Chains A and B, each alone.
Chain A
Amino acid sequence: MSASGLDLKIADLTVVYGGVTALSNVNVTVPPGGFVSVLGANGAGKTTLVRSITSLLHLHKGRVRRGSIELGGKSILGKKSPEIVAAGVAQVPEGRKLFPNLTVKENLLCGAASRRDLGGIDESLEQNLELFPQLRPLLNQTAGLLSGGEQQMVAVGRALMSQPALLICDELSLGLAPKIVHRLFELLTEINQARGTSILVIEQNASLALEHAADAYVLELGRVLMEGTAAELRGNPMVQELYLGGGGEAHTSYAAIERPRGGGRRRRPAAGGAR
């Protein structure tokens, strides 16, 4: 059984790389069992936020200058990444970051690195294969040779192997076919509802994220620009203009220019709302 979801509370977080400020005074809250999305363009500080939570900043010469990060009421700031995973935070890293020379099965088993109940690992593996039946015949394949979609499934499965209380997905949609991305987001919703796992998705694909998340934040240049329920943000003209590929006018932000298929995305929030 999975642990039920824990809440994440990021308060007043300021992160710097050398002299460059990547996040300033960021406040983000994921309620227990919540589904929250953080939106933003390249360079908005989204991945920095993930690294801060999972304590991987030091690998990129970054550090937290101010603020607090609490999981389930306990501070996880300053702990080492293995302790944070053991506390219940799992992540699907940006770009998937599988272990390319390991097999699919070995990749999944690495996700269980923090677990002490060795007996329960096989059960989690089986759960994963029920979630992603496509992976069953690929178990002994070298992960680096899988297609992008298959790799992303392994990455999600690997994160789930630790039975997280909070699952963080960084740019799940990047470089994948829309159909696969939709299926993955539906799975996240299922996991969120069935297991009560708290979910934090970091996304450039705003329409998709707003369709599935309950609450959302918009990051720009390291600050929280807007926050609210997903429905509020979908209705916000500025979000529509900048992140949902507004109505045919000239885009002033590169965030919008980077979405060549932006026009097609406008329909999706409507479709989601009708469901």
Chain B
Amino acid sequence: MLLAFGNFTADPSVNLQLLIGGLALGAIYAVVALGFVLVYKSTDVLNLAHGEFLMLGAYFALTFLVSENLNFFLGVFVLLLVMLVFGLLVHYGIMRRMVGQGFFAIVLITLGIATIIRALLLIFYGPTERARLDLLPQGSFEIGGATVRHVDLIIFAVVAGCVLLFFAFFKYTRLGLHMRAVADDIEAAAAMGIDPDKVYAMTWAAAMVMAGLGGLLFGHVTGAIDRSIEAIGLRAFPAAVVGGLTSLGGSIVGGLVVGVIEQFANGHLGTKWREPVAFSVMFLVLLVRPTGLWGRKDLERV
């Protein structure tokens, strides 16, 4: 029945190609989902502006790496630094005043931030779409009949490196410990002398930096850079939910799984099936495990 919609093939090289493309796409989803989950876990804010954060990163990459033509590494450093400052601004300028307000009031605030970012990008960059970034090596090589682009490989490696760095940060640093403590119980954390205000600020900054990195990477694989690429936030949402909104590790696996599933749906069923299939997977996972694959309810004995 479904076959009527697509062009299924058992050709291993095609499937390998889809798998490689899926993992590269999934790695970007993973970075986006990670930033999303980080904010949700630490500050209890469902940040609907995360796709816009990433778009901001992509546009800043245009500015610093293309228009200003900075040295690649210097440009990336400046990009991430600017994103960090924006993260602090989001906290100290807006979110800080919302602490203790209702969940949906804060969700609406993030929608407002999303709208403002879209408007500012329109004002400062204009409506014209830009060519995608081509700063990473553009070559490719063949393996088992499938083409592997260097860009995809680099994306995968960078994401893997960042994820490891992130986990090490949470596990082994004092600030990481304090961030996890605040995520567990903000009042107890405050009672222990941890400053939730600082922790929240660092969380938004870290999420923004992740989004900057995501924007830089996604800017290399998207068709063109325009104000529609914020949709990546929506598309990474199933990744975060599948992994469990509170699990950083889960968001990585969720990202990869959703990326691969999307690519297979794309290859075998056609482009229009990408998102329906991704969201169906999300619904199925939620039906079986309402907290996502790795999300957990709080362990607390009262």
Q: Is the CB of A82 within 8 A of B187?
A: no
Q: Which of A86, A93, A151 has the most chain B CB within a 10 Å cutoff?
A: A93
Interface residues as binary, A115-147 with B (CB distance below 8 Å gives 1, 0 otherwise) = 000000000000000000000000000101111
B100 part of interface (Cβ distance < 8 Å):
yes
Contacts of A102 in B (CB 8 A): 177, 180-181, 184
Question: Shortest CB–CB separation between residue B194 and chain A, in angstroms?
Answer: 4
With A102-B181, A106-B180 as contacts: A97 and B191 at CB distance below 8 Å: yes
Provide the residues of chain A in CB contact with B181, threshold 8 Å: 99, 102, 106, 110, 113
Residues 154-182 of chain A, each 1 if its beta carbon lies under 8 Å from chain B, else 0:
00001000100000000000000000000
Q: Is the CB of A97 within 8 A of B185?
A: yes
A99 to B182, CA, bound (A): 8
- Identify which of B104-112, B158-166, B204-212, B294-302 touches chain A: B294-302
Task: Count A/B pairs, Cβ under 8 Å.
Answer: 92
Q: How far is the CA of A82 from the CA of B194 in the complex (A)?
A: 6
Q: Determine whether A91 belongs to the interface, using a CB cutoff of 8 Å to chain B.
A: yes
Cβ proximity bits A81-101 to B, threshold 8 Å, 1 near / 0 not: 110111000110101011111
A54 touches B188 (CB 8 A): no
A109 within 8 A of B: yes
Note all chain B residues with C-beta closer than 8 A to A66. Answer: none
Question: Are A59's CB and B187's CB within 8 A?
Answer: yes
User: B187 near A85 (CB under 8 angstroms)?
Assistant: no
Decide yes or no whether A56 CB sits under 8 A from chain B.
Answer: yes
Cα separation A265 to B36 with both chains bound (whole Å): 53
Known A59-B100, A110-B178; contact A162-B298, beta-carbon cutoff 8 A: no
Which residues in A have their C-beta under 8 angstroms from that of B93?
none
Contact A85-B100, Cβ < 8 Å, known A101-B299, A144-B300: no
Complex alpha-carbon distance, A90 and B186, angstroms: 16
Q: B185 near A99 (CB under 8 angstroms)? A: yes
Q: Which residues on the B side are within 8 Å of A56 (C-beta)?
A: 187, 190-191
- Select the residue from B185, B190, B194 with max chain A CB neighbours within 10 A: B190
Most buried by A among B186, B194, B195, B301: B301
Contact A81 B191 (CB under 8 A): yes
Bound complex: CA A81 to CA B191 (Å): 6
Q: How far is the CA of A114 from the CA of B195 in the complex (A)?
A: 9
Q: Are A54 and B191 in contact (CB under 8 A)?
A: yes
Known: A101-B180, A110-B177. A148 touches B193 (CB 8 A): no
CA distance A95 to B191 in the complex (A): 13
How big is the A interface, by class? 35 or more
User: Are the C-beta atoms of B299 and A110 separated by less than 8 Å?
Assistant: no
Within the complex, the shortest CB–CB distance from A174 to chain B, in Å, comes to 10
Cross-chain contact A144 with B193 (CB below 8 angstroms): no
Asked if B188 and A93 make an inter-chain contact with CB atoms under 8 angstroms apart, the answer reads yes
Beta-carbon contact of A98 and B193 below 8 Å: no
Chain A hits for B123, CB < 8 A:
none
With an 8 A cutoff between CB atoms, is A80 at the interface? yes
In the complex, chain A residues 17-65 whose Cβ is within 8 Å of any chain B Cβ:
54, 56, 58-59, 61
Interface centre among A86, A101, A109, A146 (most CB of B within 10 A): A101
CB pair B178 A151 closer than 8 Å: no
Determine whether the beta carbon of A110 is less than 8 Å from that of B100.
no
User: Which of A91, A113, A142, A148 has a CB less than 8 Å from the CB of B299?
Assistant: A142
CB pair A85–B300 under 8 Å, yes or no, is no
B100: which A residues are within 8 A, CB to CB? 58-59, 61
Residues of chain A with a CB closer than 8 A to B177's CB = 102, 106, 109-110
Q: Which residues of B contact A84 (CB under 8 A)?
A: 193
* Bound form: Cα–Cα A114–B192 in Å: 8
Which residue among A54, A56, A98, A110 has the maximum number of chain B CB atoms within 10 Å of its CB? Answer: A110
Given contacts A59-B100, A106-B177, A106-B180, contact A100 B299 (CB under 8 A): yes
Chain A residues positioned under 8 Å from B301 (CB to CB): 144-148, 151
Residues of B within 8 A of A109 (CB): 174, 177
B189 within 8 A of A: yes
What 1/0 mask marks residues of chain A from 242 to 266 whose CB sits below 8 Å from any chain B CB? 0000000000000000000000000
Q: Which residues of B contact A5 (CB under 8 A)?
A: none
Report which B residues bind A (CB closer than 8 A). 100, 174, 177-178, 180-181, 183-195, 296, 298-302
- With A85-B191, A101-B298, A144-B298 known, 18 other A-B pairs at CB within 8 A are A80-B195, A81-B190, A85-B192, A86-B193, A90-B192, A93-B187, A95-B302, A99-B181, A100-B185, A100-B299, A101-B180, A101-B183, A102-B177, A102-B184, A113-B178, A114-B192, A144-B300, A147-B301
16 CB-based A-B contacts, threshold 8 Å: A56-B187, A58-B100, A82-B190, A85-B192, A86-B193, A97-B188, A99-B180, A99-B184, A100-B185, A100-B298, A101-B296, A101-B298, A106-B177, A110-B192, A113-B192, A145-B299
Closest 6 pairs (CB-CB, A-B): A144-B299, A85-B193, A114-B193, A97-B188, A99-B184, A100-B299
